[in-house]
Structure 1
């Protein structure tokens, strides 16, 4: 998965296309002492027009069935509207038999390229790290509430960046199908529970933390929504089918917030979601 710089390139293209220079500074775009004037459209019309003028990113064009399916996935989950997301907060939660076994909290300032990540590791150590996503360095961090610096700060930054890469990909994979280094393939159709699904293959050309991974993404062809993915992770681990459930509207995005693992009671849940 690519780093934050690629996301900002998409944002920059969208802002330029919309004729914007980015978020306004405080006080910008207003005239002191003058009340806003509504035009003949009224308040609702003005609101609708403002929504239409929000920045959007063009859907990348990749020829062939795989590119067409990827475009439907990208658009169905809000990929074109990703430049509108200034901040994204969520918890990445792992559950076993309805018991929470791990959680990481993210307060991601998307436009700034910074994420504050809080989690407890396997040894019970509590980490609180603010990481710069351009270079995976920690701006500040604490361990069990105590500030750290030097080599410990460097290690904390890498740990937080790894958490961001993993957790964001689980949540936002549909928005990242056109990332640099991603290879797309169309693996035909399959039938499951009376539904015909198309299969989009995602593989990686030397990018991300685990470039040997491969995903077979099962897509409802009309809506473009992901129903499941079959994970083929690098190493000797067997494939694992994970269902994508519980779709929600989250600001300009539409995302699944529950992952159910086939043949087990394991789940990944996204909660405390906040989109600015």
Structure 2
């Protein structure tokens, strides 16, 4: 996608509708101990194949997914600044082991458990899914592996920087979720750290939103991009007060 074709993509920030996801092996052992050189080589090759990670795994690993089981509590504030609109923010405390959520806005605080939701918290939970997805999308894609289709391109031009990067197109299935069928074009380097992405609502051809992934910080072994902004700089979605408590 060339820069000359870009336009301003963000309509009213119905934030929960911006970026919502569609959900929220073993090999036989070699038993020939006295195998010859050919068999040994085949075993090594088999082990190497077994260890090879998928693109989703490489991206998730680069962002610290192996440390996720140690996370006891995740705090963060989701902020949006858009030209012509007042600053918007909401804060969350997530205890992933129990799935307890504390939702905090300027008006009130709501505590609920995602394992025991009723209709009164559906809108709040949609907001949580949206904000958590922006925070952890590189890991979230791996969690959602059964609900997505991916296509990997080795070299392509990133939409904002025009740098040559790898691209992974992630398309969610069209069943269930808050915004089924959405697609993301994710741009990353050889380190598998996401640098830019394109959100395409309902897998439409034209982008709905294009932003950077920048200002990475490491919290509790997780790599988190704290800033996302469009090319013009008149839309910024960012995180503050990020805290990760581990066991």
TM-score between the two structures when normalised by the length of structure 2: 0.70
Aligned mates of 1:264, 1:228 — CA distance in 2: 14
Closer, same or farther: CA 235–249 of 1 in aligned 2, 3 Å: closer
Structure 1 position 264, deviation (Å): 4.3
Secondary structure in 1 aligned to 2:124? helix
Structure 1 position 207, deviation (Å): 4.3
Aligned mates of 1:104, 1:226 — CA distance in 2: 24
Structure 1 position 75, deviation (Å): 0.4
The equivalences for 1:76-115 within 5 A come to 76-97=62-83, 101-115=87-101
Secondary structure in 2 aligned to 1:164? helix
Q: Which residue of 2 aligns with 1:198?
A: 166
Q: Which residue of 1 aligns with 2:186?
A: 217
Q: Which residue of 1 aligns with 2:117?
A: 136
Count of aligned residue pairs for this structure pair: 193
Q: Which residue of 2 aligns with 1:181?
A: 147
Secondary structure in 1 aligned to 2:215? strand
Structure 1 position 70, deviation (Å): 1.8
Deviations 1:116-166 (A, max 9, x none): 11225xxxxx242112112433xxxxxxxxxxxxxxxx43x1121111110
Aligned mates of 1:62, 1:271 — CA distance in 2: 36
**Could you say what the CA RMSD is over the residues aligned between the two structures, in angstroms?**
2.5
1:250 partnered with 2:197? no
Structure 1 position 184, deviation (Å): 1.6
**4+ residue segments displaced more than 4 Å:** 97-100, 235-238
Aligned mates of 1:93, 1:267 — CA distance in 2: 8
Contact 1:93 1:100 in 2 (8 A): no
What stretches of structure 2 of length at least 5 have no aligned partner? 1-20, 25-49
Q: Which residue of 1 aligns with 2:195?
A: 227
Deviations 1:233-274 (A, max 9, x none): 138794121110100011110111100123341101100111
The equivalences for 1:44-59 within 5 A come to none
Deviations 1:156-194 (A, max 9, x none): x11211111100001101112222312221134213447
* Bigger relative contact order, structure 1 or 2 (CA pairs below 8 A, ≥6 apart): 2
TM-score between the two structures when normalised by the length of structure 1: 0.63
